[in-house]
Structure 1
Amino acid sequence: MDQLDKFNRRYNFLSKLSAALFYSVAVAVALNFFWTPGHMYSSGITGFAQLINSITERYFPFTLSTSTMYFALNVPLFILGWFKIGHKFTFFTIVAVVAGSFMMHIIRPLSVNWDPLLCAIFGGTINGIGTGFALKNGISTGGIDIIGIVIRKKTGTSYGKFNILVNLLIIAAAGFVFGWTRALYSALTIFINGQVIDAVYTQHKKMQVMIITEHPQAIISGIQSKMHRGITILHDAEGAYAHNEKTVLLTIIDRYDLYDIREIVKNADPYSFMSVSEVEKVYGRFKEQEIV
């Protein structure tokens, strides 16, 4: 058992580290291959870092690079994450941000004239995949990721929707700096980025599961031991075809748990019936997966 625990800790560490490095490459490629050549702004702290870079480049005798400002703007948010989310989570967030800043610096922008629509689509998609993959592995990419997670824990608001809302300021800034046509493309890449994040990072989505079975106890034991979820039991249900006595089980899970519950139900009662539907909001006592 000690060896297994050691292996799990090592695997978890390597998966988080890999996710941080994958994100750092994704954000650097999105920024320097698509957003910078396309003259558009990214979302969140990356977008603010680009804005500061543009302003200093145009109006000051010195230029603050996007990579430098990306790191500097994240420093106060490291403190927020350390106290409000978790120490291990914040440690890997720092790794992701430092690696991202480094990759932005060493991966140089392309000098190309690609169609801005292409830049918006590919930039938003690549960054969204990198960010979503990082969040799925339990780490943040810094910036409004941290604020979004704190707000989601308090209100249940979708991370992608929050991401889109807070970036209206970025879109306005892009309009003043690059023109309103580029602001439209910035809005498009921010929207795509948010949608891709939500598609990849599914842990925050809640699912209602209804199970109709003749062997409820085995399923209940499996769910409670694997996921620690509450279950509502409806007795005395009846199948219309064979008129057998059935039991209906209702529970709410994270989408992240969907594979596990399917395996539990299949192993306990392969003849059971299970339906799954997405839930917009959950009120009452629902235990979120811990972020440490």
Structure 2
Amino acid sequence: MKRNKYYRAFRAWLDELGRRFHFIKLLQSISREKYDEKLSAAVFYGILSALAINFFYQPGHVYSAGATGLAQIIQVKLATYGGLNLPLAAIYYAINIPLMVLAWRQIGHKFTVFTFITVSFSTLFMGWIPKVTLTSDPMINALFGGALMGLGIGLALRANISSGGMDVLILTIRKRTGRQVGNLSLTLNGVIILMAGLSFGWPYAFYSLVTLFVSTRVTDLVFTKQRKMQAMIVTSYPERVIKGIHTGLERGVTILNDAEGAYKHERKAVLITIITRAEYHEFKWIMRETDPEAFVTIADNVHTLGRFMEY
């Protein structure tokens, strides 16, 4: 009861702000279930990434990939050559600000709003959670730090949100060039690891490679974005369902008309579509909104030939 009360108050506050600010209107268009899911994922990512950084990366002098690793390198360089002891959270946030502007202009407004929320939570927890040295062994720090970071990224991807940082740059470059995300990620993260090796010694580059490998493996265990799923939908309202899939997921649908239910002999339509695991939660929400009585079967990890867009 209290949760409903607070939620209604929050939505009323959003309604008022929505009349004045465009990005608030984007939040208003998101259902309560999806908003709660994305917000929870952003909080969990913020906590896990802050624990990885403050408990393992910084005490073990392990340099992460992405914007976090770049912030670590800048922090050490400023302290060594400029005498400036800036908080890592402040540097990390400063790196993400121009990336948020780029995302707003090049990728999408909803994407940018939730990326901004995720980055803000990560920055706040990075500043609030104290730096604790559990062990001085860099290998152990690399392993456990990578596991925590990978878990946070996997949870964020499951909610279809971005952790910010280099993700924004990678998606922008992919949009302009069509290059694969994996190759772009390997190139950009390789540059950061190379910088760590040249600046602090090659053992640090090795530990960065270890934490990057562990992080990606754990992310794959929690969530695999490239895994495709086939959905077969038996529905009495095909046009409504097709419109929801086209609008919400931008996926194509194959229609098999004149199907018949064997029990009541009702006329049905069978729809077939291919989605990614990243889109599965969105797909379930679309089905509940368009035809909650539809019969849906999901085939996991299917392979496709021909044109299939991965956004």
Is the shorter-chain TM-score for this pair beyond 0.5, marking a shared fold? yes
Task: Report deviation, 1:76.
Answer: 0.5
Q: Percent identity?
A: 36
- TM-score if structure 2 supplies the norm length? 0.68
Contact 1:41–1:171 (Cα < 8 Å) also in 2: yes
Task: Report deviation, 1:109.
Answer: 1.6
Q: Unpaired runs of 5+ in structure 1?
A: 235-248
SS of residue in 1 equivalent to 2:228: strand
2:115 is the counterpart of 1:65: no
Pairing of 1:27-176 with structure 2 (within 5 A): 27-152=49-174, 155=178, 157-158=180-181, 162-176=184-198
Q: What are the Cα deviations for residues 20-64 of structure 1, in whole angstroms up to 9, with x where unaligned?
A: 111111111001111111111011111110001111121222222
Deviates more, 1:40-49 or 1:169-178: 169-178
Q: Matches of 2:61 and 2:188 in 1, distance apart?
A: 20
2:40 is the counterpart of 1:18: yes
The structure-2 alpha-carbon separation of the partners of 1:210 and 1:31, relative to structure 1 and needing over 3 Å to count, comes to closer
Contact 1:24–1:100 (Cα < 8 Å) also in 2: yes
Contact 2:78–2:85 (Cα < 8 Å) also in 1: yes
Structure with larger RCO (C-alpha < 8 A, sep 6+): 1
Match of 2:307 in 1: 283
The root-mean-square deviation of aligned C-alpha atoms, in Å, is: 3.8
AA in 2 matched with 1:173: M
Contact 2:135–2:141 (Cα < 8 Å) also in 1: no
Q: Matches of 1:90 and 1:269 in 2, distance apart?
A: 32
AA in 2 matched with 1:191: F
Q: Matches of 1:163 and 1:29 in 2, distance apart?
A: 23
- TM-score if structure 1 supplies the norm length? 0.72
Task: Report deviation, 1:72.
Answer: 0.4
Q: Matches of 1:164 and 1:224 in 2, distance apart?
A: 37
Pairing of 1:150-229 with structure 2 (within 5 A): 150-152=172-174, 155=178, 157-158=180-181, 162-202=184-224, 204-207=225-228, 209=230, 224=242, 227-228=245-246, 229=251
Q: Matches of 1:37 and 1:14 in 2, distance apart?
A: 34
SS of residue in 2 equivalent to 1:167: helix
Q: Unpaired runs of 5+ in structure 2?
A: 1-7, 9-27, 257-270, 285-290
Task: Report deviation, 1:7.
Answer: 11
AA in 1 matched with 2:307: Y
Q: Matches of 2:138 and 2:185 in 1, distance apart?
A: 22
Task: Report deviation, 1:120.
Answer: 1.1
The structure-2 alpha-carbon separation of the partners of 1:280 and 1:74, relative to structure 1 and needing over 3 Å to count, comes to farther
Match of 2:18 in 1: none
Q: What are the Cα deviations for residues 54-82 of structure 1, in whole angstroms up to 9, with x where unaligned?
A: 11121222222211110001111111111
Contact 1:205–1:278 (Cα < 8 Å) also in 2: no
Contact 2:59–2:133 (Cα < 8 Å) also in 1: yes
Deviates more, 1:251-260 or 1:178-187: 251-260
Give the length in aligned residue pairs. 262
Contact 1:151–1:157 (Cα < 8 Å) also in 2: no
AA in 2 matched with 1:254: T
